[in-house]
Amino acid sequence: MTNDIAIRVEGLSKKYRIGNAQPRYQTFRDAFMRSIASPLRWLQAQKQEENTIWALDNISFEIKHGEAVGVIGRNGAGKSTLLKVLSRITKPTRGRVDLFGRVGSLLEVGTGFHPELSGRENIYLNGAILGMNRREIDRKFDEIVDFAEIEKFLDTPVKHYSSGMYVRLAFAVAAHLEPEVLVVDEVLAVGDAAFQKKCLGKMGTVSEEGRTVLFVSHNMSAIQALCRSAILLSHGSLISFGNTDQIVENYLTDVSIISRQALQDRKDRSGNGRLRFTNIVFEGDDGQKLDELISGQKTSILLSYEAAASLKNVVVSIGFYGNFGQFLLLCNNEMAGVHFEQLPATGQIKCSVPKLPFSQGIYHINLYCDVNGVQADWVQEAASVHVIDGDFYGTGRSVPSSHGGFLTEQVWSNLPGA
């Protein structure tokens, strides 16, 4: 029945023009010349079509009231575009979207707030946009402030907020102003672990109250904890929609296959291309190439790269993730106090970890680089590695992955009672 449906999507497609999407101003002379150049129009149209990309391609699904649905897929799959269309931020090229109820959205940091207004003013502004009167917002105001933990900065313009403060307030507003549909993007990754847990709990409560949650995340554990069903997207197409555990299994299989592709051949990357990673190799303490990594052993990561010219001010990040997408460790040259002020056009960047801090299991690696503060290359699931037990603690005892993925040296002692 229609009354049970919160979201209905039929034949949804969204096309973007690559490069300058705005047509230039047309004079009378332009119009005249265009009219006599009709034989060339078809060729021009074909050229334009080559410069477009379908971020969403003929997607259809229905979600009922009270359902919490995960949206998963690799970088460029169309997840964020789908949420923008559902939130009425972006118009579809084709197809239709029916939303039955008010929609509260938490997308990119910065979406939905006026930077010059204070946190207090933005709460009332967002409530008004959702169609609430002042009395309704007043009733929820204290809950929002308590949840966001920003009471000291309530009357400060949000342009002065840190990204973490911004996200806390944005989520609190979106979740507490009682939308019938709550749409949340990966932006929750900006918050700390305690706040992420708090947000997941609130989304669960929203769903239990009969409202609908649409949640995008790369953290498969979070998706499985919150959502009974999930949507898998790939290259703008809906691959499958069904039981979360089965969808997650399909996704992880796809990730495993992709990560075995040669890094230099990967097309699913973003950045301006001033630097591109071309290969990743792991070495042991003796400089020998490793096919498997050993827990507790010295490990070096060698990244080959290429650029058109020598580069200044390069920052490289290597992110380690668990098999279910949970973020574990970031290696970053700038964070470690090493500055690549000048790099040759081609070469290798080496990062050594004195004692690999992972228990046995499968881990995935994301690579990121910016040059002069601008993203140059970003490859998700650039590699997958298998870590085997290596007696991390020197006790002769194995540490199973069920005891946690991250290991650290420990010092224990017995102190006399007071």
Q: Where residue 307 sits, what CATH number does that domain have?
A: 2.70.50.60
Mind giving me the DSSP string for 321-354? EETTS-EEEEEETTTTT--B--B-SEEEEEEEES
Would 408 be classed as within a structural domain? no
pLDDT score at 31: 44
Shared domain for 233 and 359, answered yes or no, is: no
Task: Examine the domain organization and report whether 80 and 171 are in the same domain.
Answer: yes
Give the neighbor-by-neighbor strand order of the sheet with 275-283.
275-283, 299-307, 346-353
Task: Report yes or no: 238 and 230 within 8 Å, Cβ to Cβ.
Answer: no
Which residue among 256, 274, 300 closes a domain?
A: 256
Query: Quick one: 120 and 211 in the same domain?
Result: yes
List the pLDDT tens digit at each of the 418 positions of the chain: 457 899 999 999 999 876 544 444 444 444 444 444 454 554 454 455 557 788 899 999 999 999 999 999 877 788 889 998 998 888 999 999 999 988 888 776 556 688 899 999 989 988 887 777 888 889 989 998 998 888 899 999 988 988 778 888 888 888 887 888 988 887 665 556 677 788 888 888 888 888 899 998 877 888 888 899 999 998 899 999 999 999 988 887 777 666 677 888 888 888 999 999 999 999 988 888 888 888 889 999 999 999 989 999 999 999 998 877 778 889 999 999 999 888 999 999 999 999 999 988 888 899 999 999 899 999 988 988 888 888 888 887 777 766 677 888 888 888 887 5
Q: What is the pLDDT of residue 193?
A: 67
Choosing from 228, 256, 284, the residue where a domain stops is 256
Same structural domain, 278 and 349: yes
Q: What is the pLDDT of residue 10?
A: 95
In this structure, are 193 and 315 located in the same domain? Answer: no
Token pair for 111: 């979406």
Distance CA 77, CA 236 (A): 5
Rounded Cα distance, 127 and 178, in Å: 10
In a domain? residue 30: no
Residue type, 228: R
CATH number assigned to the domain comprising residue 77: 3.40.50.300
Q: Judge whether 39 lies within some domain.
A: no
> What domain range includes position 350?
263-403
Residues 292, 396, single domain; the answer is yes
Please state the domain count of the chain.
Answer: 2
Please tell me the predicted confidence (pLDDT) of residue 337: 92
Residues 97 and 123 in one domain: yes
The answer to whether residues 177 and 96 belong to one domain is: yes
The pTM score is: 0.65
Dist. CA 259–CA 402, nearest whole Å:
24
Place of tokens 């979207």: 97
Give the contacts of 416 (CB within 8 A, at least 6 positions apart).
Answer: none
Beta-bridge partner residues of 136: none
Give domain status of residue 412, yes or no. no
Q: Which residues sit opposite 366 in a β-bridge?
A: 319
**Same domain? 274 vs 237:** no
Q: Which residue(s) pair with 99 in the sheet?
A: 7
Give the pLDDT score at 95: 94
Rg (CA), the chain: 25
Domain assignment present for residue 24? The answer is no
Angstrom distance (rounded) from CA 75 to CA 55: 11
Residues 247 and 118 reside in one and the same domain: yes
**Structural domain includes residue 28:** no
Is residue 33 a part of any domain in this protein?
Answer: no
The C-alpha atoms of residue 334 and residue 337 are separated, in whole angstroms, by 5
In this structure, the answer to whether residues 290 and 164 fall within a common structural domain is: no
User: Do residues 299 and 366 share a domain?
Assistant: yes
Could you give phi then psi for residue 385, rounded to 5 degrees? -130, 150
Last residue of a domain, one of 239, 256, 273: 256
The residue length of the chain stands at: 418
In a domain, 288, yes or no: yes
Integer CA distances (angstroms), 375 to 187, 271, 279, 317, in order:
18, 5, 18, 11
pLDDT at 19: 55
324, burial (CB in 10 Å: exposed 0-12, middle 13-18, buried 19+): middle
* Burial bucket for residue 331 (CB in 10 Å: 0-12, 13-18, 19+): middle
Question: Angle formed by the axes of helices 163-176 and 193-208, to 10°?
Answer: 10
pLDDT at res. 219: 79
Q: What angle do CA 139, 166, 77 make, to 5 degrees?
A: 110
Buried b (16+ CB within 10 A) or exposed e, 402-416: eeebebeeeeeeeee
Identify residue 163 by its one-letter amino acid code: S
Whole-angstrom distance between the N-terminal and C-terminal Cα of the chain?
A: 68
